[in-house]
Amino acid sequence: MAETIFARMLRGEIPTRFLHEDEHCVAFADIAPQAPFHVLVVPRRPLTNIGAAETADGALLGHLQLVAAVLAKAAGYADFRIVTNSGAGAGQSVMHLHLHVLAGRTLRWPPG
Ligand code: AMP
């Protein structure tokens, strides 16, 4: 897997304020927020995207979603969206799996 900016953030090479960190993942604010609350949940393990995940990654994927939900609720948002882009054609620009957690405004569907 090619080096990404998220890998550098995880290694501490780019100073980043983590809103959450545990042995499996970190979370930090998106640099270009698309909603009043826009946090990224990023696994420490460099999986390219959910399309590259395997059965053995199930627990990690579940953990990332639970962390995302806890962070949104802890910030006071009962309603929120968790989304992950898998592949450039789906809008993925950083090739290290991450969940977007969005809240704080009305979120329309489909997202476009
Ligand atoms: P995606 O397009 O789904 O791959 O999402 C990548 C996200 O990473 C985008 O929403 C970017 O704004 C965000 N991003 C890129 N670089 C940084 C950074 N240095 N710190 C925080 N967020 C970033």
pLDDT of 59-95, one tens digit each?
999 999 999 999 999 999 999 999 999 999 999 999 9
Number of domains in the chain: 1
In a domain, 19, yes or no: yes
Q: How many CB atoms lie within 10 A of CB 33?
A: 13
For residue 90, the model assigns a pLDDT of 97
Query: Nearest C-alpha to atom 15 of ligand 1 is from which residue?
Result: 31
In a domain, 111, yes or no: no
In a domain, 108, yes or no: no
In a domain, 56, yes or no: yes
**pLDDT of residue 2 exceeding 90:** no
**Cα–Cα separations (whole angstroms), residue 44 to 6, 41, 100, 104, 111:** 9, 10, 15, 27, 27
Proportion of the chain above pLDDT 90, given as a percent: 96
In a domain, 63, yes or no: yes
In a domain, 110, yes or no: no
Alpha-carbon gap, residue 70 to 77, rounded angstroms = 10
In a domain, 112, yes or no: no
* 34: containing domain: 5-103
* 98 labelled catalytic: yes
Mean confidence (pLDDT) of the chain: 97
In a domain, 42, yes or no: yes
**pLDDT of residue 112 exceeding 90:** no
User: Distance, CA 32 to ligand 1 centroid (Å)?
Assistant: 7
CB 18 within 8 A of CB 6: no
For residue 1, the model assigns a pLDDT of 73
Q: Three-state DSSP class for 68?
A: helix
For residue 53, the model assigns a pLDDT of 98
